[in-house]
């Protein structure tokens, strides 16, 4: 019997952190313009948008994983399938333990990207297989991050996960609608529960294509506008609710 595989984008940002699209816009675009079955909302150091997205997801026929891209003291960590907010600034080992206590899963975000805070820069090899093997019991590695400017980082991440029998995941690291689904995780099944089990069992694969130049320019322009609004005191608080 042939196994059915689906796509999940486990790394998406919204206006609840530094993304340019609202939760509703992300959900509507995903349902209309992609073949994703599951998405993970992983705003930086907050789960407000993810909780809202999960509440609204049934309207769009997709499933939402509540996640958070946590700024640990050692680099960025994707915490998936969580229910409680994780504060930034704590050691990676402590954060991973708290995620697992919630029944969640931990995936190293862009682990070997030299341009962003990553666990690879803080000794990922050392803590996973070196003298401190097991100090960071990760469930997966983002073997493909579509936003990574330097392709060698993705290659190193894929080789690292393959050599250690750890789940290979992919994500878009989307900060705009155009890049949702650009990177994805391929998994057997179709539901968020299936994705959870596939990551646990190492039955996932990464896929997708990198951002285009205009995607980077769009995000840079958005961030410049936000900085300008911040300096002028014109930033309004995020106001979204399920209707």
Give domain limits for the chain.
5-231
Residue 192, SS3 per DSSP: helix
Burial (CB < 10 A; 0-12, 13-18, 19+), residue 214, is exposed
Q: How confident is the model at residue 234 (pLDDT cuts 50, 70, 90)?
A: low
Q: What is the CA radius of gyration of the chain?
A: 17
pTM: 0.93
What is the rounded CA–CA span in Å between residue 190 and residue 153?
Answer: 29
| pLDDT at residue 132 greater than cutoff 70 | no
Pair of tokens at residue 116: 């962003």
Whether the predicted pLDDT of 130 surpasses 70: no
Is domain 5-231 classified as CATH 3.20.20.140? yes
pLDDT of the residue at 128: 75
77-122 residue pLDDT tens: 999 999 999 999 999 999 999 999 999 999 999 999 999 999 988 7
pLDDT tier, 220 (very low <50, low <70, confident <90, very high otherwise): confident
Contact 195, 187 (CB under 8 A): yes
Q: What is the DSSP letter of 172?
A: -
Closest CA to 52 of 62, 41, 39: 41
Task: Give percent of the chain with pLDDT exceeding 70.
Answer: 93
User: What percentage of the chain exceeds 90 in pLDDT?
Assistant: 77
pLDDT in tens, 135-184: 899 999 999 999 998 999 999 999 999 888 899 999 999 999 999 999 99
Quote the longest CA-to-CA distance of the chain. Answer: 61
Which pLDDT does position 240 carry in this prediction? 78
pLDDT of residue 125: 81
Statement: residue 229 has pLDDT above 90: no
Rounded-to-integer distance, Cα 99 and Cα 47, Å = 13
State how far the Cα of 142 lies from the Cα of 191, in Å rounded to an integer: 20
> Residues 40-56: pLDDT tens digits?
999 999 999 999 999 99
pLDDT at 27: 98
Question: Are the C-beta atoms of residues 194 and 7 closer than 8 Å to each other?
Answer: no
């Amino acid at each position: 019997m042939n196994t059915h595989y689906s796509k999940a984008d486990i790394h998406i940002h919204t206006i609840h952190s530094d993304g340019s699209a609202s939760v509703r816009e992300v959900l509507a675009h995903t349902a209309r313009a992609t073949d994703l079955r599951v998405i993970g909302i992983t705003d930086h150091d907050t789960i407000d948008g993810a909780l809202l997205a999960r509440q609204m997801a049934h309207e769009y026929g997709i499933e939402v994983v509540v996640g958070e891209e946590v700024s640990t003291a050692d680099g960025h960590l994707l915490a998936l399938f969580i229910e409680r907010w994780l504060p930034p600034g704590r050691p990676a080992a402590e954060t991973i333990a708290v995620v697992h206590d919630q029944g969640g899963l931990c995936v190293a975000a862009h682990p070997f990207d030299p341009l962003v805070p990553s666990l690879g820069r803080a000794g990922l090899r050392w803590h996973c297989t070196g003298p401190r093997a097991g100090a960071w019991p990760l469930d997966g590695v983002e073997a493909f991050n579509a936003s990574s400017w330097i392709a060698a980082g993705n290659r190193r991440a894929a080789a690292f996960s393959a050599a250690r029998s750890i789940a290979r995941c992919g994500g878009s690291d989307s900060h705009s609608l155009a890049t949702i689904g650009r990177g994805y995780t391929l998994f057997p099944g179709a539901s968020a529960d299936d994705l959870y089990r596939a990551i646990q069992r190492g039955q996932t694969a990464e896929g997708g294509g990198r951002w285009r130049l205009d995607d980077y320019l769009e995000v840079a322009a958005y961030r410049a506008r936000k900085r300008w609004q911040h300096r002028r005191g014109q930033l309004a608080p995020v106001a979204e609710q399920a209707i």
